[in-house]
Amino acid sequence: MTEAAGRPARRVGITDVAAKAGVSVGTASKALNGRGRLRDETRARVRSVADELGFAPNTVARSLLTGRTFTVGVITTDSYGRFGIPVMRGAEDSLAAGEMIAFLCDGRDDPIRESHHLRKLLERRVDGIIVAGRSTDPRRSLGEDLPVPVVYAFSPSSNEKDCSVVSDERGAARLAVEHLVKTGRRRIAHITGPESHASSRERAAGLTEALAEQGLEPAGPPLFGSWTEAWGRFAVAQLLRAEEDFDGVFCGSDVLARGVTDGLREAGVSLPDQVGVVGVDNWALVAEAARPPLTTVDLGLEEIGRRSAELLLKAINGHPSPGVHVVPGHLVVRES
């Protein structure tokens, strides 16, 4: 029976790649696995031939050869996915480039569940672990004596010896203030979430610092509350009742900002002519649907994921980078 009559085609092996590239099997293996000291043109030629022939490496053999499984565990505490999904999307970009596969586990802020996931991932002999949080508050470390490297994304580890990749919270406030001042605002109020949250405190401090550099003071103390539209409407109503002189509002999140813009519009305030509003998050679902669409600071969540995965891959290869790595955000200008 011929292949055309139904017999499956023979799997392309590394010997086929080596023969066509004109190198030894050992050289072909080194070129495809990124090992050894080979000339760049030799490595490139072998990889080109492998692509041409449709060569797919034998994962089992590769694992036996390298002592790695080419898998990574991702433990997230963000069941809703608002912060975790962009972080994981970015991480997957870098992991895929490194030919790694990720196992996703939802810890749900439950230490027992998280310990279970950690144990199972280690039993599967993953090469490393990314822990993705849903807030900027420090979280407990998984431990110092783990057999694989760990990188904490968005929520930093409480252990300074660990590797954490975080957003620039004070930098986000600075970007918002600079934009508001650039557009002529001089009396800027701040409405944000619970004071118990690290992000609320850091953004409020960043606002004060950025205004001071401009020779300005905040329009009243920060108004701490909840991360809801209802709090945004209520807080801006407080400002208006107090006859507080303000022409700009920096909001600690896009959800808050939408509540603030609704409250201002309902009070007859023209946006952005009389008051300019800037949020944080660049959550398109909220920012683009607001009236007017929100100018906001994007915290770079996907970049946090990419950077976390890159640092994890380097640690897997014997080059750890302990400490806190800060990813800057960027301003997204819309109409508010």
Whole-number percent of the chain with pLDDT over 70: 91
Q: Which residues pair with 101 in a beta bridge?
A: 71
Under the banding of pLDDT at 50, 70 and 90, the label for residue 79 is: low
Amino acid at 237: A
CA dihedral 158, 163, 167, 168 (to 10 degrees): 90
Ranges of H-type helices in 183-289 = 198-213, 229-241, 254-266, 284-287
Sign of CA dihedral 204, 208, 213, 219: positive
Ranges of H-type helices in the chain = 14-21, 25-33, 40-53, 59-66, 84-97, 111-123, 169-182, 198-213, 229-241, 254-266, 284-287, 301-316
pTM: 0.81
115 contacts 141 by C-beta, under 8 angstroms: no
Report pLDDT for 184.
96
Is the predicted pLDDT of residue 198 greater than 60, yes or no?
yes
Q: Which residues pair with 191 in a beta bridge?
A: 223, 251
Q: Which residues pair with 69 in a beta bridge?
A: none
Under the banding of pLDDT at 50, 70 and 90, the label for residue 82 is: confident
336 contacts 274 by C-beta, under 8 angstroms: no
On average, the pLDDT of the chain sits at: 89
Is the predicted pLDDT of residue 19 greater than 70, yes or no?
yes
Report pLDDT for 58.
58
Is the predicted pLDDT of residue 9 greater than 60, yes or no?
no
Under the banding of pLDDT at 50, 70 and 90, the label for residue 273 is: very high
Report pLDDT for 13.
75
Is the predicted pLDDT of residue 62 greater than 80, yes or no?
no
